[in-house]
Amino acid sequence: MRDYYTADQVRAAEAPLLAALPDGALMRRAAYGLARVTAAELRSRTGGVAGRRVTLLVGSGDNGGDALWAGAMLRRRGVAVRAVLLDPDRAHRAGLAALRAAGGRVAGGPDAELGEPDLVLDGIVGISGRGPLRPPAAALLGRVAAPIIAVDLPSGVDPDTGATSGPAVTAQVTVSFGALKPVHALAAPRCGRVELVDIGLAPGTASTRALTAAEVGARWPVPGPTDDKYTQGVVGVVAGSARYPGAGMLCAGAAVTATSGLVRYAGAAAPQVLSRWPEVVAAERVGVAGRVQAWVVGPGAGTDEAALTELRAALATDLPVLVDADALTLLAADPALVAGRSAPTLLTPHAGEFARLTGVDPASDRLGATRRLASDWGVTVLLKGRCTVIAEPRGRVLVNDAVGSAAATPGSGDVLAGIVGALMASGLETATAAAMGARAHALAANLAAGERSVTAAPISAGALLSQLRAAVRILRAQHADRT
């Protein structure tokens, strides 16, 4: 698992170390890690360290101190270091003295010259900062042309929500001290590559977690020696309609591709589904579809009375149900449909559907908003986005950073619903199935787009689905490599 800790948790974990260690020792630990990452980045980008140029953007808090100490260490390795102090009277004294003693240059005020740096260290604001950059800092940032390494987190981005409400830093690399914070997942495009430096923290139980690729691969259901098509999980799919048959084809196809279990389809798009996926068993409606272990309801199914009847039928069972797309619109009109269900219920909204369900735009606090909906409704919620957020009713949260935005294409959500529904039917716990499905879905999208190469291109949902088996093989291989 990859763990993420709130700013309060990190500060609480720092307190006993600060009390036990000599004054400034913890900061110097962090600065040493920051200097090491910066030197490696200089070497990677320019071919060397000595003679290169680094500019520090220094605020009045501890992040400014981290940057100053790191600057002193870099200066001793032959780097030309310039510090720009946003508030000279409040700069960290010991760090500033160390930089000056090492031969670093210091300039006061946001109008100071930046020089022509190879890299810039963002030490403007730390985890105690809230809100956007103030105008002087924003103006200074606007003059930066070099790649930025953020100290702990990009300044102007909230550490716990990843949200921005104005000017903020976009870094190529972020160096986090002691523990990852939610910002590193929720605002991954702002953070760039994240490097974690061990400074001896023991922060306890994480507020938010993410499955690793190896963990997803280890848990992915594959046939055992005594398995058959029924024991591997039978998923029922209510998706697609005469108007939107493609949704049924994508959702059912994703379920077929994700596992070796059986897929039953109930809906008006049966001819189209069977023409593409002949292994699917089709019926007209939920009540006559046959035995399943989980239901997926909603993608392209419509919002008329017939669609409502099918949603009610699935929710009336004692089986896990994934509610997506059109079914979420029906649920927004009548939340009582899921009230009191004893079986697991998973809602998979995008931001607009989330707002219809709750009346709240989740953008300013995706973690908090998802937690509240899960708790208030007694369901598990998967909020879609570049960083998928999955919350259980009791508060546990899993996240998955998609690495890119290739999956932002029509029909992508239909594929995700089919993947996760098949995993739920296999017997996996709901939130785990959701996180695993999100990871495989994102990887398949990136494979289809070639996002790790210079030839990255827009994709369709069909292209995403065509890469799902390859994505599962890669995840399984990640597990094999660790064992």
Q: Is 152 annotated as a binding residue?
A: yes
pLDDT above 60 for 183: yes
**Confidence at residue 110, expressed as pLDDT on a 0 to 100 scale:** 82
For β-strands 387-391 and 193-197, DSSP reports them as: unpaired
Q: Is 350 annotated as a binding residue?
A: yes
Tokens at 113, concatenated: 């010259």
Same domain, 179 and 235: no
Q: Is 413 annotated as a binding residue?
A: yes
Number of H helices, E strands in the chain: 18, 18
Q: Which amino acid is at 386?
A: R
Q: For residues 105 and 84, what is the distance between their CA atoms, to the nearest angstrom?
A: 9
Same domain, 157 and 172: yes
Q: What is the CATH number of the domain that holds 72?
A: 3.40.50.10260
Final residue of a structural domain among 163, 190, 208: 208
For β-strands 80-85 and 262-266, DSSP reports them as: unpaired
pLDDT above 70 for 391: yes
Same domain, 253 and 157: no
Final residue of a structural domain among 146, 177, 208: 208
In order, the DSSP letters of 134-167 are PHHHHHHHHT--S-EEEESS-TTS-TTT---SS-
Q: Is 386 annotated as a binding residue?
A: yes
Q: What are phi and psi of 42, to 5 degrees?
A: -60, -45
**Confidence at residue 218, expressed as pLDDT on a 0 to 100 scale:** 96
Nearby residues of 222 by Cβ (< 8 Å), 6 or more positions away: 260, 476
Q: Residue 274 CB: number of other CB atoms within 10 A?
A: 16
Q: Is 130 annotated as a binding residue?
A: yes
Residue with tokens 């680094």: 54
Q: For residues 411 and 273, what is the distance between their CA atoms, to the nearest angstrom?
A: 15
Q: For residues 460 and 121, what is the distance between their CA atoms, to the nearest angstrom?
A: 39
pLDDT above 70 for 454: no
247-297 residue pLDDT tens: 999 999 999 999 999 999 999 999 999 999 999 999 999 999 999 999 999
Closest of 426, 436, 418, 437 to residue 231, by C-alpha: 426
Q: Is 63 annotated as a binding residue?
A: yes
Q: Is 132 annotated as a binding residue?
A: yes
Q: For residues 193 and 94, what is the distance between their CA atoms, to the nearest angstrom?
A: 29
pLDDT above 60 for 169: yes
Same domain, 114 and 197: yes
Domains contained in the chain, number: 2
Q: What is the CATH number of the domain that holds 291?
A: 3.40.1190.20
Q: What confidence tier does 483 reach under pLDDT thresholds 50, 70, 90?
A: low
The answer for 473, left when phi > 0, alpha when psi is -120 to 50, beta otherwise, is: alpha
Q: Is 481 annotated as a binding residue?
A: no
Same domain, 193 and 233: no
Q: Is 385 annotated as a binding residue?
A: yes
Q: Is 127 annotated as a binding residue?
A: yes
Same domain, 92 and 34: yes
Q: What Å distances lie between residue 275 and 242, 280, 295, 417, 464, CA to CA?
A: 15, 10, 22, 20, 19
Angle, CA 364 vertex, CA 361 and CA 370 arms, to 5°: 65
Same domain, 123 and 153: yes
Q: Is 226 annotated as a binding residue?
A: no
Q: What are phi and psi of 57, to 5 degrees?
A: -100, 110
Q: Is 384 annotated as a binding residue?
A: yes
Q: How many residues does the chain have?
A: 483
Q: What are phi and psi of 15, to 5 degrees?
A: -55, -50
For β-strands 380-383 and 387-391, DSSP reports them as: antiparallel
Q: Is 131 annotated as a binding residue?
A: yes
Q: Is 376 annotated as a binding residue?
A: no
Q: For residues 184 and 204, what is the distance between their CA atoms, to the nearest angstrom?
A: 18
Same domain, 181 and 260: no
Same domain, 33 and 66: yes
Q: Residues 56-82: what's their mean pLDDT?
A: 97
Q: Is 122 annotated as a binding residue?
A: yes
Same domain, 161 and 252: no
Mean pLDDT of the chain: 95
| Stated pTM of the model | 0.94
Same domain, 203 and 274: no
Q: Is 388 annotated as a binding residue?
A: yes
**Confidence at residue 228, expressed as pLDDT on a 0 to 100 scale:** 87
Q: For residues 181 and 187, what is the distance between their CA atoms, to the nearest angstrom?
A: 10
Q: For residues 169 and 191, what is the distance between their CA atoms, to the nearest angstrom?
A: 9
C-beta separation of 111 from 133 below 8 A: no
In order, the DSSP letters of 354-408 are HHHHHS--GGG-HHHHHHHHHHHHTSEEEE-SSEEEEE-TTS-EEEEE-SSSTT-
pLDDT above 90 for 195: yes
Angle, CA 442 vertex, CA 265 and CA 256 arms, to 5°: 25
Q: What Å distances lie between residue 456 and 233, 445, 470, CA to CA?
A: 35, 11, 17
pLDDT above 80 for 107: yes
Tokens at 215, concatenated: 């963990």
271-284 residue pLDDT tens: 999 999 999 999 99
Q: What confidence tier does 456 reach under pLDDT thresholds 50, 70, 90?
A: low
Q: For residues 10 and 30, what is the distance between their CA atoms, to the nearest angstrom?
A: 14
Q: Residue 168 CB: number of other CB atoms within 10 A?
A: 25
Q: Is 479 annotated as a binding residue?
A: no
Same domain, 186 and 248: no
Final residue of a structural domain among 208, 238, 272: 208
Q: By residue range, what is the domain housing residue 338?
A: 213-482
Higher-scoring residue by pLDDT: 450, 329: 329
Q: Quick one: angle between helices 430-449 and 412-425, nearest 10? A: 140
Chain centroid to CA 479:
21
Q: What confidence tier does 357 reach under pLDDT thresholds 50, 70, 90?
A: very high
Nearby residues of 307 by Cβ (< 8 Å), 6 or more positions away: 241, 301, 326, 327, 330
**Confidence at residue 480, expressed as pLDDT on a 0 to 100 scale:** 74
Chain centroid to CA 245:
31
Q: What confidence tier does 455 reach under pLDDT thresholds 50, 70, 90?
A: low
Q: Is 16 annotated as a binding residue?
A: no
